[in-house]
Amino acid sequence: MQSCWYRLDYQERLFGMFENLSIFVKRYEELEQKLYDPTVASDPKVYAELMKESKGIEPVVKKYQKYLGAEAAMNEAKELLEESGLERDFREMAEQEIDQAKKTMDSCAEELKILLLPRDPNDDKNVIVEIRGGAGGEEAALFSAVLFRMYSMYATSMGWKTEVLNMNETELGGYKEISFMITGEGAYSRLKYESGVHRVQRVPETETQGRIHTSTATVAVLPEVDEVEVEIDPGDLQIDTYRSSGAGGQHINKTESAIRITHIPSGIVVECQDERSQYKNKDKAMKILRSRLYEAKQQEQDAQVAAERRSQVGTGDRSERIRTYNFPQGRMTDHRIGLTLYRLEDIVNGEIGEIIDALIAADRAEKLKEAMEQ
């Protein structure tokens, strides 16, 4: 009786909650056939789109096939147990097979729940990260430099590429603000949780009496967007050129290569002065502008869907204090999930994978809970 209930339970969970997973298998097989079609292979754009779709559903198909394999093994073992005169050793082996198959099916069912959650369409995109010094003056600017180094080192460890788009450096080597692009597979899927206010507690280099100061920096993580995703009317732009300014450099204040673009309808202003070339600065500034406009549109949509907003683990709210870096105690605390780690030196040297993994797990848990309640 128990085994009958178990099988019905799985059928309900997989075919009720997940609908008919065989649809994924059928589509996956169709895509595999199309990818081997010479006419498709000769069209790079079509091939890339089909490959992306195939890669997206492959984890679901493989996990479902693993579930079906375990189910078949369990059924075979059950049939073996029903045979009369079965020796004790074979009976014990069959019972162990059933137990192992149940564990595999249970594990696959839980993983399928996560795989079938709605996926963020931006997860595969590159990101533009903007860091701005907040409260704390020069110390906040120095902390911004620490964060930039942290993300750069993490990007290197992931095999990603980092490119500075714009920076406003201080005399002591900090950044009033810095914008940079991180290029790599899945960059947004992992770094999107970094948006928010980061707080640091430490003794500043400029402090003579050894007092601990608290400063902040704001991080914004924006998905890189293509021109076709965000249409910008050239008539809505006010483009100004000016001479670069900053802490130093041979080309500073010599040529009007810096660019300031104002998007009149939204009031968004983007500046870029990192390159010697006015054209390169304009190109980088437009990348930042497109991403900011895209983010503003997304935030407007999210605000209209309260349920989606509740399911987020601090992904996008720049005003939310998300993390504290306490240098005297060597401690990092992520306030969204209550995670505290006492290895701050490793963290600021780019070892933030454990933190991001925990945030992803918490985000999935919240979304899964919401999906089951619906």
Domain residue spans of the chain: 2-115, 127-367
Residue type, 321: R
Domain 127-367: assigned CATH number: 3.30.70.1660
Domain 2-115: assigned CATH number: 1.20.58
Does pTM surpass 0.75? no
Q: Is the pLDDT of residue 198 over 70?
A: yes
Residue type, 343: R
Q: Is the pLDDT of residue 250 over 70?
A: no
Q: Is the pLDDT of residue 308 over 60?
A: no
Stated length of the chain: 374
Q: Is the pLDDT of residue 368 over 60?
A: yes
The tens digit of pLDDT for each residue in 109-127 reads 888 887 877 778 888 889 9
Counts of helices then strands in the chain (DSSP H, E): 11, 11
Residue range 294-319: average pLDDT? 58
Spell out a b/e string for 318-332, using b for 16 or more CB atoms within 10 Å of the CB, else e: beeebbbbbbeeebb
Burial class (CB in 10 A: 0-12, 13-18, 19+), 214: middle
Please report which residue ranges of 12-137 form alpha helices under DSSP H: 22-35, 38-41, 44-81, 88-115
Cα dihedral angle (93, 94, 97, 103), rounded to 10 degrees? -120
- Are the CB atoms for 177 and 119 separated by under 8 Å? no
Predicted confidence at residue 340, as pLDDT, reads 96
Rounded Cα distance, 151 and 122, in Å = 19
One-character DSSP codes across 8-26:
HHHHIIIIIIS--THHHHH
Rounded Cα distance, 339 and 33, in Å = 46
